[in-house]
Amino acid sequence: MKVIVPIKRVVDYNVKVRPLNDESGVDLNNVKMSINPFCEIAVEEAVRLKEAGSATEIVAVTVGSQASQEQLRTALALGADRAVLLETNDNVEPLGIAKLLAKLCEEEKPDLIILGKQAIDGDNNQTGQMLAALLGFPQATFASELKINDGVATVTREIDGGLQTIAVNLPAIVTTDLRLNEPRYASLPNIMKAKKKELNVIDASSLGIDFVSRLTTLKVELPPSRDAGVKVESVEELVDKLKNEAKVI
């Protein structure tokens, strides 16, 4: 079973992002970049499937600039067998990413595609669903548990009402939620081995896909600052402030 794991290069979740001085976007100068946390979970799940004997090959894929090779090498160090970079310097929106991934999947013919449910930068939560629609694959989103048996993926999903378990026939698409697993750290020997693994770079524009952005960023700014809280000495004082200052009661 071949598993494709799309990943995304994002600002590390420990970094506090700031807008550029002209507010045209996010300041990425000298900022630590990492694999999107939900994508790390997807890579880990694919590696666990391979360790369990369910998967035979794991292919990490990303859409981005040459700098994204760093994150692909990290995925290789975590256990992916090879990687593919669909190279473009454009800011590609979810639909464009889904189109490019669909084109690649037509050639790779994967049995399972596992990807994070959303990226922590755009927070769109769209690529997995769009990719499923383009490929005509069944999908199981927000997965907190995944089991593969006889060509069927049994997925426990996190929904508003609790948990839902569904079964989808392979090939299928699964998007990962936080509780699916805890990603491992790449060991030094695996980091060294990753340098020798195959990483194929494909010019995204050569695929004949229209991935031009339809949205324009007008302005990026920090949220308005909030006033500091105050401590009160009694319930009566709290009620008085809520009534006369906050005017919420």
Omega within 30 of 0 (cis) for the link into 94: no
pLDDT at 230: 85
Query: Which neighbouring-strand residues pair with 199?
Result: 83
Q: Which amino acid is at 102?
A: A
The end-to-end CA distance of the chain, in Å, is 61
pLDDT over 90 (residue 227)? no
> Domains in the chain, start-ordered, CATH in brackets?
2-244 (3.40.50.620)
Confidence class of residue 229 from pLDDT cuts 50, 70 and 90? confident
Digit-coded pLDDT (tens) for 38-56: 999 999 999 999 999 999 9
Q: Can you tell me the distance from the alpha carbon of 199 to that of 3, in angstroms, rounded to the nearest whole number?
A: 16
pLDDT at 54: 94
Determine what percent of the chain is predicted with pLDDT higher than 90. 83
What tokens appear for 104 in the block? 């690649």
pLDDT at 153: 96
H-run or E-run covering 213: none
Digit-coded pLDDT (tens) for 149-206: 999 999 999 999 899 999 999 999 999 999 999 999 999 999 999 999 999 999 999 9
Q: Look-up: residue for tokens 């189109």?
A: 99
